[in-house]
Amino acid sequence: MDNFLPITNGCAIPRKELPILEFPHFRDSLLASTAANGNIVQFFGYEENGTATLLAVIRKGYDLSAAQCAMPKEFPSLTAENWKFNLFEREIAEQFGIRPLHHPWFKPVRYHANWRGAPDVFGADYQTDIPGLYDYFRVEGEHIHEVAVGPVHAGIIEPGHFRFQCFGEKVLHLEIQLGYQHRGVERLLPTLPFKRLPIVVEGIAGDTTIGNSLCFAQAVESLSSLKVPDPARVVRTIALELERLACHVGDLGALSGDVAFNPPAAYYGRLRGEFLNLLVVLAGNRFGKGLVRPGGVTKIPTPDNVALLRDKIKEVRPEIIQVADLLFSAHSVQARFEGCGRVDRATAEAVGLVGVAGRASGLDYDAREFFPTEKYKMMSPCSYNRKRGGVYSRAWVRYEEICHSLNLAEDLLGTIPEGDLPFPDPNWRLAPDSFVVTVNEPWRGELSHCLLTDAQGKILRYKVKDPSFHNWTGLALALRNQEISDFPLNNKSFNLSYCGFDL
Amino acid sequence: MLKLIQTRLKQGYRTSAFPRKPINLHPSYRGRPEINRDCDPEVAARCAEACPQEAIDAEKRRIDLGRCVFCGLCQQLSEGRFIRFTTDFRLGVAERDQLLYQGSLPDLAAHSKQHFKKLFGRSLQLREVSAGGCNACEADTNVLNTPFFDLSRFGIQFVASPRHADGVFVTGPVPRNMKTALLDTYQAVPAPKVVIACGSCALSGGPFRGSDEIVPLETLLPVDLFIPGCPPHPLTILDALLKYFKG
């Protein structure tokens, strides 16, 4: 990796500092690094004045590094040697019409024509607008049957297609085809006036509004040398934790509902709402929209509102603990959670799981600890006691993080000074010919945005990577040799984003 | 068992008395805006210029609530002198044009289709189609099933099959990749059927307007009920459903 440039989370650098490697070196370095506990943060293509380039950002331990290379027309697939590259490589192929040779499972990611008008590498003509119209992997045999679910699911859930190959109740293989939520976010962002960017970014994944807004704001702040006042950093950190609390609490309720244990489902369903209502106090919106902007936040809570937040957290904490006791000690819950949908540590490592799912399998990576932003430098990390990689662990990790986040939010609330801040100036400009990558840990796991600017300071490329981009494969693997009736439970235990993935 | 009873006692009864009793949201919440029609034209023009959704017509002193994402920037820029957001969450309308808002919204109950009230007023089953949204509208629709809102006490349910539904409830800007699935779902609903569009995306493309990858809902289906917001508050959705079908 010595030919990769060490970089810092959220620190913009001139693009000319990024090393440009020959493709063989680029490929070898990536493979060597990912084989030795390195993980992909970003790996994507961009085009400038007709020249296309590949750019990769790798994390290894506490270090980030980046390098690029000229985009070849076709190249020996990296996925063939390391599974972590699978979706990244297919995404590049889909966006730029280039072909990774000998890719073990080459198919569209989001189902759209490539951006360069090149011949389609998947052999699709996009006349039919159905991403799932594709030859799925099939298990053959007399007693084998296939179950197709989606894109429209039974509940109020985002669309996606799941194809199960079953032997009786047993799932031999699950294939997940997404793309139904593809709104063209990455193509749209560089074409828009800057005033529209915060709104689009908030719409990448509404349940991760604060996470995406933070990645965006930090990138812009670095590219335009905006100073963020400390109280704004405190508010942003609290908001990210409230978002985590709302989602984790809601997930525990939904998991309970999926094993037909209704009381915790009802209680946590309501308690989730308490946190969304706290986001209203902070942001004026239940999902925190309108709060985080480049340069800070739009509002610092008044002392009365800070007191309200603290009182509410004090009030709900014992309720959350009591309901958790009810949930985790119920035999019927244990019988369904325990041993269900295991992803062992080696598998988790091999596919590069992040976030809750990764930690539940024993991968102790939390971007808040490894690449701290905002006020996370002073945070004591969360500790985890269950790492067996099944539904139980994924639920328990959430509960541990809930307790940790409650402490964190309570501590931070004590540090908000009185007095308002000036409203962040929306008229920022970006440094030309620059590059920045931002990494944060919203509730699902590592989220990263990457911005490249051109000679005029316009956005040349806006790349978003949701944690779900790593973790959907984990869900497919968790289902192997499980009963198909356990799918909803497993799906909920991952609770991945469709819109964040589909962009 | 003891734990179950203990927790039940601690949790108590939590269902809201809405709509029998009014409900007050936190003053920070941004609901229906108030427009100062006598505002300095320069301030109004500045807000219109800065509006990320280009939802403000400064000359007419008008906001397109179908486009607005209630981000609050105009309130901040005008320091409340032009636009001020109130906590009023009642925003549903029966015609798209009624969202070209100059300070008042028509009474939804009076504008809804009377035959829908007769057909669905006592029992309404909806099939939700999530079509490219950010999952915020979906989440805040789902929340209507929690004990606080308890949607089913009004005879309204979200159902699994379009065959069991009286209409579709659409969220999201409708990506090209969801068009066929949305139309198929609509086709599968037996007539007469109602179409409800929920959230800024379904109403106008929302943040994603202008993207090549989306197909505006109004070009695909006849919408009967429009619910603005980004996302609409659960009470906005509940209020719109109750007024439109039972008002």
* 8 A C-beta contact, residue A351 and residue A84: yes
DSSP state of B184: H
pLDDT in tens, A69-109: 999 999 999 999 999 999 999 999 999 999 999 999 999 99
Structural domain includes residue A147: no
Is the same domain home to B59 and B127? no
What is the maximum alpha-carbon separation in chain B?
67
Give chain B's domain count: 2
Q: What is the CATH number of the domain that holds A118?
A: 3.30.460.80
Q: Does A131 touch chain B (CB under 8 A)?
A: yes
Q: Does A141 touch chain B (CB under 8 A)?
A: no
Chain B residues near residue A129 by CB distance under 8 angstroms: 176-177, 179-180
- Quickly count: other Cβ atoms within 10 Å of residue A53's Cβ: 18
Is the same domain home to B239 and B117? yes
Q: Which of A109, A18, A111, A97 is nearest to A52 (CA)?
A: A97
Structural domain includes residue B46: yes
Is the same domain home to A127 and A223? no
Instruction: Note the pLDDT of residue A1.
Output: 61
Chain B residues near residue A423 by CB distance under 8 angstroms: 76
Question: What's chain B's average pLDDT?
Answer: 93
| A309 band by pLDDT with thresholds 50, 70 and 90 | very high
Is the same domain home to B117 and B229? yes
Instruction: Note the pLDDT of residue B208.
Output: 96
Nearest to B207 among A182, A200, A326 (CB): A200
Tokens of A249: 């609490």
Is the same domain home to A210 and A121? no
- Mutation choice for B interface testing from A267, A285, A317 by most B CBs within 10 A: A285
Contact B71 A158 (CB under 8 A): no
Instruction: Note the pLDDT of residue B113.
Output: 85
Residue of A nearest to B135 (CA): A206
Do β-strands B83-85 and B33-35 pair in parallel, antiparallel, or remain unpaired? Answer: antiparallel
Instruction: Note the pLDDT of residue A210.
Output: 97
Structural domain includes residue A299: yes
Query: How much is the average pLDDT of A277-288?
Result: 96
Structural domain includes residue B172: yes
Chain A residues near residue B207 by CB distance under 8 angstroms: 196, 199-200, 202-203
Helix (H) or strand (E) holding A407: helix A391-413
Q: d(Cα B171, Cα B206) in Å, to the nearest integer? A: 11
Structural domain includes residue B18: no
Structural domain includes residue A136: no
Q: d(Cα A56, Cα A43) in Å, to the nearest integer? A: 4
Tell me which residues of chain B, numbers 92 to 121, contact chain A at a CB-CB cutoff of 8 Å.
none
Is the same domain home to A367 and A253? yes
Question: What's chain A's average pLDDT?
Answer: 94
Tell me which residues of chain A, numbers 157 to 176, contact chain B at a CB-CB cutoff of 8 Å.
157-159
Query: How much is the average pLDDT of A373-377?
Result: 94
Structural domain includes residue B132: yes
Amino acid at A192: L
Q: Which residues of chain B have pLDDT under 50?
A: none
The residues that bridge with A58 in the sheet, in sequence order, are A40, A65
Interaxial angle between packed helices A230-258 and A487-494, expressed in degrees from 0 to 180 and rounded to the nearest 10: 170
Is the same domain home to B160 and B239? yes
Chain B residues near residue A277 by CB distance under 8 angstroms: 26
Give chain A's domain count: 2
Alpha helices in A290-337 (DSSP H): 303-329, 331-337
Is the same domain home to A231 and A360? yes
* 8 A C-beta contact, residue A461 and residue A436: no
Q: d(Cα B83, Cα B36) in Å, to the nearest integer? A: 6
Contact B136 A287 (CB under 8 A): yes
Tokens of B60: 């007419």
Q: What is the CATH number of the domain that holds B141?
A: 3.40.50.12280
Query: How much is the average pLDDT of A295-313?
Result: 95
Q: Does B137 touch chain A (CB under 8 A)?
A: yes
Chain A residues near residue B28 by CB distance under 8 angstroms: 280-284, 299, 305
Q: d(Cα B128, Cα A108) in Å, to the nearest integer? A: 27
Contact B72 A290 (CB under 8 A): yes
- The parent domain of residue A108 ranges over 5-131
- DSSP-based helix, strand, coil % in chain B, nearest 5: 40, 15, 45
pLDDT in tens, A24-77: 999 999 999 999 999 999 999 999 999 999 999 999 999 999 999 999 999 999
Residue of A nearest to B170 (CA): A156
Tell me which residues of chain A, numbers 401 to 460, contact chain B at a CB-CB cutoff of 8 Å.
423, 426
Tokens of A107: 């198919």
Is the same domain home to A418 and A279? yes
Structural domain includes residue A384: yes
Q: What is the CATH number of the domain that holds A416?
A: 1.10.645.10
Q: Does B30 touch chain A (CB under 8 A)?
A: yes
Is the same domain home to B132 and B224? yes
Where is average pLDDT lowest: A298-302, A441-445, B7-11? B7-11
The residues that bridge with B85 in the sheet, in sequence order, are B33
Nearest to A322 among B7, B28, B135 (CB): B7
Tell whether the model's pLDDT for residue A426 goes beyond 70: yes
Instruction: Note the pLDDT of residue A126.
Output: 87
Contact A270 B148 (CB under 8 A): yes
Tell whether the model's pLDDT for residue A420 goes beyond 90: no
Tell me which residues of chain B, numbers 160 to 189, contact chain A at a CB-CB cutoff of 8 Å.
160-162, 172-173, 175-181, 185
Q: d(Cα A104, Cα A474) in Å, to the nearest integer? A: 17
Contact B175 A202 (CB under 8 A): no
Name, in order, each residue with C-beta under 8 angstroms of A265's C-beta and a sequence gap of 6 or more: A253, A254, A256, A257
Structural domain includes residue B221: yes
Is the same domain home to B119 and B70? no
Contact A499 B135 (CB under 8 A): yes
Is the same domain home to A99 and A235? no
Is the same domain home to B121 and B194? yes
Tokens of B79: 């320091």
Query: How much is the average pLDDT of A307-316?
Result: 96
Q: d(Cα A315, Cα A330) in Å, to the nearest integer? A: 24
- The parent domain of residue B56 ranges over 33-85
Q: d(Cα B165, Cα B58) in Å, to the nearest integer? A: 42
Q: Does B74 touch chain A (CB under 8 A)?
A: no
Is the same domain home to B63 and B144? no
Contact A273 B146 (CB under 8 A): yes
Structural domain includes residue B193: yes
**CB neighbour class for A423 (10 Å; exposed up to 12, middle 13-18, buried from 19):** middle
* 8 A C-beta contact, residue B202 and residue B172: yes
Q: What SS3 state is found at B227?
A: strand
Q: Radius of gyration over alpha carbons of chain B, in Å?
A: 19
Structural domain includes residue A311: yes
Q: d(Cα B74, Cα B70) in Å, to the nearest integer? A: 9
For tokens 């409230």, what's the residue? A242
Interface size between A and B, measured as CB pairs under 8 A: 210
Q: d(Cα A289, Cα B71) in Å, to the nearest integer? A: 7
Nearest to A269 among B26, B132, B147 (CB): B147
Instruction: Note the pLDDT of residue B10.
Output: 85
Q: Does A155 touch chain B (CB under 8 A)?
A: yes
Q: Does A497 touch chain B (CB under 8 A)?
A: yes
Structural domain includes residue A480: no
Structural domain includes residue B7: no
- Mutation choice for A interface testing from B130, B187, B217 by most A CBs within 10 A: B130
Q: d(Cα B9, Cα B3) in Å, to the nearest integer? A: 10
3-state secondary structure A210-266: HHHHHHHHHHHHHHCCCCCCHHHHHHHHHHHHHHHHHHHHHHHHHHHHHCCCHHHHH
- Mutation choice for A interface testing from B1, B9, B26, B134 by most A CBs within 10 A: B134
Structural domain includes residue A342: yes
Contact B231 A206 (CB under 8 A): yes
Contact A152 B129 (CB under 8 A): yes
Is the same domain home to A218 and A115? no
* 8 A C-beta contact, residue B118 and residue B165: no
**CB neighbour class for A225 (10 Å; exposed up to 12, middle 13-18, buried from 19):** exposed
Name, in order, each residue with C-beta under 8 angstroms of A207's C-beta and a sequence gap of 6 or more: A243, A247, A287, A443, A497, B134, B135, B136, B139
Sign for the CA dihedral angle at A316, A320, A326, A327 comes to positive
Structural domain includes residue A244: yes
Amino acid at A34: T
Q: d(Cα A217, Cα A454) in Å, to the nearest integer? A: 19
Tell me which of A416, A433, A454 is where a domain ends: A454
Q: d(Cα A58, Cα A432) in Å, to the nearest integer? A: 24
Chain B residues near residue A195 by CB distance under 8 angstroms: 50-52
Chain B residues near residue A179 by CB distance under 8 angstroms: 177
Is the same domain home to A214 and A127? no
Which residue has better confidence, A496 or A1? A496
